[in-house]
Structure 1
Amino acid sequence: MIWTIYLSGEIHTDWRQQIMDGAQAAGLPVEFTSAVTDHDASDAAGDSLGPESDGFWRDHKSSKVNAIRTKNLIEQCDIAVVRFGDKYKQWNAAFDAGQLAALGKPYITLHDSDIIHPLKEVDGAAMAWAQTPEQVVGILKYVISAG
């Protein structure tokens, strides 16, 4: 079986690459999917539908177009990793975690200990909380190869 791992959340560090590299080094049978991680491209996802004079409507259209991708990838994943960074609030990651929980999809949260309190509900529905990409890879190794 090839496991599909959805990587959600913070886009300003290389955590995704660290997990992908670790999984590859461990020889895990996985494929990774993700939301669009290019901030400008994500913000412009709905621009082909016509210009908007109000930022709200530009964001609204782009979020709908982005949701086509994220909704399908979340539904198709076997497990997800939801990363919360310290630089920005990742409301989209919290929304993804809510969708994962509602669908009964297992997910791992990845964040530092200083934001445990604001993420208590998100962590409460997660199957695990990791603080490093290496810990995530360790979880994946255990879950996928039982050891």
Structure 2
Amino acid sequence: MELTVYLAGQIHDDWRLEVEKRAKQKELPLSFVGPQTNHERSDNIGEDILGEQPGNYYKDDAASAINNLRTQVLMQKSDIVIALFGENYKQWNTAMDASTAITMNKPVILIRPESLIHPLKELSNKANVTVETIDQALDVIGYIYDW
């Protein structure tokens, strides 16, 4: 049985590649989806499809509508959501994606460092499982396959 995992979180480093690499090492039958990781493509998709907008507000609004549609479709098709919170970047999109997954009743594994226990306490309480590392998140998923 292959599960699809939505990887929610910031798009500024290669943490998703690390998840995929470690899942392969653990021989977990997983496929992965997530947000558009090409930042320029994500920011410009509204104008790429709808044409030039009359200002930055409208440009962002058009891009947001299309990005939110993409997220909704891929998240609905996923079996599990991993939401990674790091310390290096603002995590607004991660919080939004994790909240969306919880609202959709998707199983959520939240990864966050010890330093973010307090600011993420409510979100962590709503997630199914909260861990501190990618390996711990994958071990939780691996337990699904443990007969």
1:14 maps to amino acid: D
For residues 87-133 of structure 1, what are the alpha-carbon distances to aligned partners after superposition, in whole Å with 9 as ceiling and x for unaligned? 22221211111111111111111121111222112111111112111
2:21 maps to amino acid: D
- Indicate the residue corresponding to 2:79 in structure 1: 78
> What displacement does 1:27 show?
1.6
* RMSD of aligned residue pairs (Cα, Å): 1.4
- Indicate the residue corresponding to 1:121 in structure 2: 122
> What displacement does 1:146 show?
1.7
Q: Distance in 2 between matches of 1:110 and 1:46?
A: 31
- In structure 2, the gaps of 5 or more residues are none
> What displacement does 1:5 show?
0.4
1:18 maps to amino acid: E
Q: Distance in 2 between matches of 1:56 and 1:86?
A: 28
- Indicate the residue corresponding to 2:111 in structure 1: 110
For residues 2-57 of structure 1, what are the alpha-carbon distances to aligned partners after superposition, in whole Å with 9 as ceiling and x for unaligned? 10100011122222111111111122111100110111111111112121242111
- Indicate the residue corresponding to 2:21 in structure 1: 21
- Contact preservation (8 Å) 2:10, 2:93: no
1:105 maps to amino acid: K
* 2:2 counterpart of 1:2: yes
- In structure 1, the gaps of 5 or more residues are none
Secondary structure of the 1:81 match is strand
Q: TM-score, normalised by structure 2?
A: 0.92
* 2:37 counterpart of 1:33: no
Q: Distance in 2 between matches of 1:95 and 1:57?
A: 20
Q: Distance in 2 between matches of 1:124 and 1:59?
A: 31
- Contact preservation (8 Å) 1:111, 1:132: yes
- Superposed, which structure 2 residues align to 1:62-77 within 5 Å? 62-77=63-78
Identical pairs, percent = 36
